[in-house]
Structure 1
Amino acid sequence: MKKVKVSLRPIVGKINLPTVLKTTILPGDSIERLFIATQVGEIFYIGDGVIRTFLDIRPRIIKLGVSSGGYDERGLLGLAFHPEFYDNGLFYLHYSVAGTQGPGALPGAFESFKPNPCDSSTLNLKWINREIQYDHIDAVEEWILPSNGQPQKQRILLNIRRPFINHNGVNSLNFSPETGKLVLTTGDGGSGYDPFNLSQDDMEFAGKIIEIDVVKNTFIDNPPVVTRFNELPASIQETLTVIAKGVRNIPGISFQRFYNQYIKYVGNVGQDLVESIFSFIHYEPIPVTQLVQASVMNSEPGPEGFINFGWRGWEGAFPTSMIRGCSADPALDEKIIAYYKEAVQTSVRRLQPLTSYFHKDPRPDKFGGTALTGVQAYMGNGIPDLMGSVVFTDLARDKGSQPPVKGVLAYTRVQTDCKLNDFSVIETDYNFGSQSAYYVSLGTNLDQTRLYLGVYGSMKVADFNQGTIFEIVP
Structure 2
Amino acid sequence: MIKVKVGLRPIITSINLPTVLKTAILPDEKAERLFIATQVGEIFYVGDGRLEIFLDIRQRIIELGTTGGGYDERGLVGLAFHPDFCYNGLFYLHYTVAGTQGPGAFPGAPSESFKPDPCDSRTLTLKWTNRENQYDHVDTVEEWILPSNDRPEKRRTLLNLRRPFLNHNGVNSLNFSPETGKLVLTTGDGGSGYDPFNLSQDDMEIAGKIIEIDVNMDTFIDNPPIVTRFDELPLLIQETLTVIAKGVRNIPGISYQRYYNHYMKYVGNVGQDMVESIFSFVPYKPIPVTELTRTSFKNSELDREGFINLGWRGWEGAFPTSVISDCSANADFNEKTIAYYDDAVTSFVHRLQPLTNYFHEDPRPDMFGGTALTGVQPYMGNEIPELTGSVVFTDLVRNEDSPPPVQGVLAYTRVRMDCKPNDYSIIETDYNFESRSAYYVSLGTNLDQTRLYLGVYGSMRVVDSNQGTIFEIVP
Tell me the residue number matched to 1:45: 45
CA shift for structure 1 position 305 = 5.6
Q: Determine the structure 1 residue equivalent to 2:473.
A: 472
1:190 — aligned with what?
A: 191
Q: How does 1:346-357 map to 2 (within 5 A)?
A: 346-357=347-358
CA offset at residue 148 of structure 1? 1.0
CA distance in 1, matches of 2:404, 2:40: 27
Query: Are residues 1:153 and 2:151 paired?
Result: no
Q: Contact between 1:173 and 1:183, CA under 8 Å: does it hold in 2? A: yes
**Residues 74, 165 of structure 1: 8 Å contact kept:** yes
SS of 1:199's partner is coil
Does the 8 A contact of 2:64 with 2:462 survive in 1? Answer: yes
Residue type of the alignment partner of 2:28: G
Q: In structure 1, what is the equivalent of residue 445 of structure 2?
A: 444
The aligned counterpart of 2:216 is 215
State the match for 2:272 in structure 1. 271
After TM superposition, the structure 1 = structure 2 runs for residues 12-411 of structure 1, keeping only pairs within 5 Å, are 12-107=12-107, 108-304=109-305, 306-411=307-412
SS, match of residue 6 in structure 2? strand
Separation in 1, partners of 2:151, 2:304: 47
2:113 alignment partner, SS class: coil
Aligned to 1:461: 462
**Structure 2 residue runs without a partner (length 5+):** none
Q: Is the 8 A contact 1:286 1:302 kept in 2?
A: no
8 Å CA contact 1:5–1:426 kept in 2: the answer is yes
Identity %: 77
**Letter of the 2:452 counterpart:** L
Distance in 1, matches of 2:401 and 2:53, equals 39
Could you tell me how far 1:125 is from its partner in structure 2?
A: 0.1
State the 1:393 CA deviation: 0.2
Shift of 1:222: 1.4
Matches of 1:365 and 1:303 in 2, distance apart? Answer: 40
Given that 2:189 and 2:248 are in contact with CA atoms closer than 8 Å, whether structure 1 keeps it comes out as: yes
Secondary structure at the counterpart of residue 289 of structure 1: helix
Q: Is the 8 A contact 2:156 2:220 kept in 1?
A: no
Point out where structure 1 has 5 or more consecutive residues left out of the alignment. none
Q: CA deviation at 1:391?
A: 0.2
Q: Distance in 2 between matches of 1:464 and 1:253?
A: 28
User: What letter matches 1:335 in structure 2?
Assistant: K
- Work out whether residues 314 and 344 of structure 2, in 8 Å CA contact, stay in contact via their aligned partners in 1: yes
| Partner amino acid, structure 2, of 1:198 | L
Equivalents in 1 of 2:354, 2:393: separation in Å? 14
SS at match of 2:200: helix
Given that 2:355 and 2:415 are in contact with CA atoms closer than 8 Å, whether structure 1 keeps it comes out as yes
Q: Give the match for residue 434 of structure 2.
A: 433
Distance in 2 between residues matched to 1:148 and 1:24, nearest whole Å: 16
Q: Deviations over 1:191-250 (max 9, x none)?
A: 000000000000001000000000112221210000000000000000000000000000
Asked if structure 1 preserves the Cα contact closer than 8 Å seen for 2:283 and 2:306, the reply is no
Q: Secondary structure at the match of 1:294?
A: helix
Task: Please list the CA deviations of residues 92-144 of structure 1 after superposition, one character each: whole Å capped at 9, or x if unmatched.
Answer: 00000000000001122321110000000000000000000000000000000
1:303 to partner: Cα distance: 4.5
Which secondary structure does the structure 2 equivalent of 1:62 belong to? coil
C-alpha distance in 2 between matches for 1:141 and 1:403 = 39
TM value normalised by structure 1: 0.99
2:358 aligned partner, one-letter code: Y
Once the two structures are TM-superposed, the CA of residue 299 in structure 1 deviates from its matched residue by: 2.0
Counterpart residue type for residue 362 of structure 1: P
1:269-320 deviation digits (Å, cap 9, x = unpaired)? 0000000000000001000000000111112222416200000000000000
Give distance in 1, aligned partners of 2:99 and 2:20.
23
Q: Is the 8 A contact 2:70 2:461 kept in 1?
A: yes
| Cα distance in 1 between the residues matched to 2:73 and 2:356 | 25
2:413 aligned partner: 412
Tell me the amino acid that sits aligned with residue 329 of structure 1: N
C-alpha contact 2:18 2:36 (8 A) present in aligned 1? yes
Within 1, Cα distance between the matches of 2:387 and 2:303?
38
Offset, 1:402: 4.6
Q: Please say if residues 104 and 165 of structure 2, whose CA atoms lie closer than 8 Å, have aligned partners that are also in contact.
A: yes
- Give the whole-Å Cα distance in 1 for the aligned partners of 2:254 and 2:471: 21
Q: Distance in 1 between matches of 2:287 and 2:206?
A: 14
What's the offset of the Cα at 1:70? 0.3
Distance 1:387 1:300 in 2: 43
Give the distance between the partners of 1:27 and 1:266, measured in 2 at CA. 30
**In 1, Cα distance between equivalents of 2:410 and 2:240:** 37
Q: In the comparison of the two structures, how many residue pairs are matched?
A: 474
For 1:399 and 1:139, the matched residues in 2 are separated by 32
SS at match of 1:463: coil
Kept in 2, the 8 Å contact 1:110–1:166? The answer is: no
Structure 2 letter corresponding to 1:231: E
Alpha-carbon distance between aligned partners in 2 of 1:219 and 1:409, rounded to the nearest angstrom? 42
SS of residue in 2 equivalent to 1:377: strand
Q: What is the identity, as a one-letter code, of the residue corresponding to 2:438?
A: A
Q: Secondary structure at the match of 2:393?
A: strand
TM-aligned CA deviation for residue 404 of structure 1: 1.2
Q: Is the 8 A contact 2:102 2:133 kept in 1?
A: yes
